[in-house]
Amino acid sequence: MAQAGTVCFIQYPQPYAFVAFLLMELYNFVCQADPELEAIRQRRMQELMAQRGGANQQNAGQQKAQEDAKQEAEERRQMMLAQILSSEARERLSRIALVKPDKARGVEDVLLRAAQTGGISEKVSEERLISLLEQINTQTSKQTKVTIQRRRSVLDDDD
């Protein structure tokens, strides 16, 4: 830093770099002039960091508990499906899940509901799964309609 009374000419590549430099120097001067103020700032910064760290740890604990609960529910779901479906049906359903996960999840939900209400008395075979898939397809079939609208330009002649 320059001594009082001397003038320094420094070239700054950016137009506002000098202003930023002066502000930093002023901030450093104020902080050095009042050590109590700097100590208060440091303590407050540490408190904020501790609060943020504690909140992150609590959030991480809650997230871990939620993930564990989801994983456990998914494991129970897979065990129930293994009891309901034959090996071929499970294989077919897993192939469907690779292509259309939402559709496979819906079929799994239907199967689990039917099993819980007593609608399934024996293991579901691949043929029965196929018929269930066909029923679901007919119920949820979407007909796509394509309409083409041509934009007319001002220069196009209708004659």
How many other C-beta atoms lie within 10 A of the C-beta of residue 108?
19
pLDDT tens, the chain, 159 aa long: 545 545 455 555 566 666 677 677 776 666 666 677 777 878 887 888 777 766 666 677 788 888 889 999 999 999 999 999 999 999 999 999 999 998 899 899 989 998 888 888 889 899 999 998 898 888 877 777 888 888 776 666 555
CA 62 to each of CA 16, 29, 59, 70, 116: distance values in angstroms, whole numbers, following the listed order: 46, 45, 5, 12, 31
Structure tokens at 150: 């041509």
Give the separation between CA 28 and CA 12, rounded to whole angstroms: 20
Phi, psi at 89, each rounded to 5°: -65, -40
Contact 77, 102 (CB under 8 A): no
DSSP string, 100-138: -HHHHHHHHHHHHHHHHTT---SPBPHHHHHHHHHHHHH
Helix (H/G/I), strand (E/B), else coil: 11: coil
